[in-house]
């Protein structure tokens, strides 16, 4: 059977180890997952209460337009229904964007390291990937501008960036997009936008009328805690959204997912409480890093990437795995001797820092 040649050079996405598998492998009773940037505080209690009522009519296809959810999003963000596209997580929308706007002979510009699905789907579509190295975790916007030419289809801006956690400030973003040719699509991936701890950011939604080539991606998987239901959305110019909808699979968001997202949007108190707890625990962890001379990137997310470690990310990952803590090795993310750590609850992070301190101390003494 003949498939695209590029598939021989790529690998399938590898999620973190399942908790049950780790439990069996190491004979552990307690497993703490700090690898996938999930919300350790779960999801809205209002969603939990409403879920049983969503179980009816499972024999009927979902609303393929996601009308009710789009209406809720449109009202919240002050946009029109034709400016919205829904996906099974923002991951699916990334795939749809690449299928829509990339082809052999075109190229796409992005930061490196950044979210792995940008280059993955671009390569599948036969496009050239121009990955520009970050500077101290930040997008090198001048170098990214230099990489754009008449064959550029998409520029990706992940802000805050995964896996480094940095964000692009308002002045830099605005200066950048003013210089991007209007025929080049600029995708602002704001999966972690709820975690920003600064007012110094570019309001992409307010800029949509000024920049028709701007597309914003957001998700219910992180702060909202609905990762299992897979709901993401894009907001952009109607012409851009229409083209993406042409390649979108029919019925790509389940009825339960759509209804749960609607309820979740109404419970902003849960979001505020989750963010407050995340930031408190995160700053305690950063204080620990400062006290132990552990380097880290500035983070406006629910994770922290620590780097310049005395061991490889894979080694630290394996050690923590044996202790029941699943973290993400930075070796696989393009940053040697680093790990990305999701901010867990206070107890989990306190226990984790004790183990981390013990391990790094033993490495230095050996």
Q: CA-CA distance, 58 to 286, in Å (whole number)?
A: 46
User: Domain residues for 300?
Assistant: 5-43+267-365
Output the 3-class SS for 179-228. HCCCCCEEEEECCCHHHCCCCCCCCCCCCCCCCCCEEEEEECCCCCCCHH
Do 279 and 247 share a domain, yes or no? no
Q: Is the pTM of this model over 0.75?
A: yes
Q: How would you write the pLDDT of the chain (366 residues) with one tens digit per residue?
A: 778 888 788 777 766 667 777 777 777 778 999 999 999 999 999 999 999 999 888 899 999 999 999 999 999 999 999 999 999 999 999 999 999 999 999 999 999 999 999 999 999 999 999 999 999 999 999 999 999 999 999 999 999 999 999 999 999 999 999 999 999 999 999 999 999 999 999 999 999 999 999 999 999 999 999 999 999 999 999 999 999 999 999 999 999 999 999 999 999 999 999 999 999 999 999 999 999 999 999 999 999 999 999 999 999 999 999 999 999 999 988 899 999 999 999 999 999 999 999 999 998 877
Take residue 290 and report the two structure tokens written for it: 């400062």
Task: Give burial (CB, 10 Å; 0-12/13-18/19+) of 250.
Answer: exposed
Take residue 178 and report the two structure tokens written for it: 């003013």
Which of 248, 266, 284 marks a domain boundary?
266
Which of 266, 289, 317 marks a domain boundary?
266
What per-residue confidence (pLDDT) applies to 55? 84
Which of 266, 289, 321 marks a domain boundary?
266
CATH number where 320 lies: 3.90.1150.10
Do 291 and 208 share a domain, yes or no? no
CATH number where 259 lies: 3.40.640.10
Q: CA nearest 114: which of 142, 138, 88? A: 138
Q: CA nearest 279: which of 221, 192, 203? A: 192
Do 247 and 276 share a domain, yes or no? no
Q: CA-CA distance, 69 to 227, in Å (whole number)?
A: 17
What per-residue confidence (pLDDT) applies to 322? 93
Q: Which backbone phi and psi does 152 adopt, to 5 degrees?
A: -80, 125
Take residue 71 and report the two structure tokens written for it: 């209406």
Distance (Å) of CA 130 to CA 107, 122, 147, 158, 169: 7, 10, 7, 15, 22
Do 226 and 293 share a domain, yes or no? no
């Amino acid at each position: 059977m003949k498939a695209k040649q590029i598939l021989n050079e790529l690998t399938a996405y590898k999620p973190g180890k399942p908790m049950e598998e780790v439990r069996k492998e190491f004979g552990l009773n307690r497993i703490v997952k700090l690898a996938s940037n999930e919300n350790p505080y779960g999801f809205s209690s209002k969603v939990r209460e409403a879920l049983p009522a969503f179980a009816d009519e499972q024999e009927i296809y979902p609303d393929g337009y996601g009308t009710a959810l789009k209406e809720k999003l449109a009202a919240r963000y002050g946009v029109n229904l034709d400016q919205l596209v829904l996906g099974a997580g923002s991951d699916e929308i990334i795939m749809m964007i690449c299928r829509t706007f990339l082809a052999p002979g075109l190229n796409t510009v992005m930061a490196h390291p950044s979210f792995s699905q940008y280059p993955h789907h671009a390569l599948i579509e036969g496009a050239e990937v121009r990955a520009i190295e970050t500077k101290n975790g930040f997008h090198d916007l001048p170098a990214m501008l230099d990489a754009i030419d008449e064959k550029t289809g998409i520029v990706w801006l992940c802000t805050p960036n995964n896996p480094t956690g940095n964000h692009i400030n308002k002045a830099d973003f605005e200066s950048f997009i003013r210089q991007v040719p209007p025929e080049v699509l600029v995708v602002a991936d704001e999966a972690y936008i709820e975690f920003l701890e600064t007012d110094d950011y570019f309001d992409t939604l307010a800029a949509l009328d000024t920049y028709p080539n701007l597309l914003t991606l957001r998700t219910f998987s992180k702060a909202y805690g609905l990762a299992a239901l897979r709901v993401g959305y894009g907001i952009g110019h109607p012409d851009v959204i229409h083209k993406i909808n042409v390649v979108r699979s029919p019925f790509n968001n389940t009825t339960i997912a759509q209804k749960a997202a609607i309820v979740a949007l109404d419970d902003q108190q849960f979001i505020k409480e989750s963010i407050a707890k995340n930031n408190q625990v995160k700053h305690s962890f950063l204080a620990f890093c400062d006290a132990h001379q552990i380097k880290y990137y500035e983070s406006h997310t629910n994770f922290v990437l620590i780097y310049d470690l005395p061991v490889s990310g894979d080694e630290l990952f394996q050690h923590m795995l044996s202790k029941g803590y699943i973290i993400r090795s930075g070796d696989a993310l393009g940053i040697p001797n680093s790990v990305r750590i999701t901010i867990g609850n206070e107890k989990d992070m306190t226990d984790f820092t004790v183990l981390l301190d013990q391990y790094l101390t033993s490495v230095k003494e050996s």
